[in-house]
Amino acid sequence: MTKKGTCPSCYFEIEVNDDVILGEILECPDCSSELEIIEIKNDEVVFQIAEEVEDDWGE
Ligand SMILES: [Zn+2]
């Protein structure tokens, strides 16, 4: 099963796995925005643009 949400930046419809959790960060496959899951409904998730975090991921 998957859930669907809409990118608040480019309105691309994003499918996510059913086991996503609140606060999870995803990258929009269309505009590459970092999206945080702020709400999970039955078959729908709500995203908001995540704060840009300047973490050092080793690059
Ligand atoms: Zn997007």
Q: What is the pLDDT of residue 1?
A: 85
Q: What is the pLDDT of residue 58?
A: 75
pTM reported for the whole predicted model = 0.81
Q: Please tell me the distance between residue 57's alpha carbon and the centre of ligand 1 in angstroms.
A: 22
CA 50, distance to chain mean position in Å, is 8
Q: Please tell me the distance between residue 37's alpha carbon and the centre of ligand 1 in angstroms.
A: 13
Q: Please tell me the distance between residue 12's alpha carbon and the centre of ligand 1 in angstroms.
A: 5
> What six digits make up the tokens of 23?
């606060």
Q: Please tell me the distance between residue 7's alpha carbon and the centre of ligand 1 in angstroms.
A: 5
Q: To the nearest 5 percent, what fractions of the chain are helix, strand and coil?
A: 0, 45, 55
Point out the residues of the chain with pLDDT beneath 70: 52-53, 59
Q: Please tell me the distance between residue 49's alpha carbon and the centre of ligand 1 in angstroms.
A: 9
For residues 13, 19, 22 and 27, what is the CA-based torsion angle, rounded to 10 degrees? -40
CATH architecture of the domain formed by 2-49: Single Sheet (2.20)
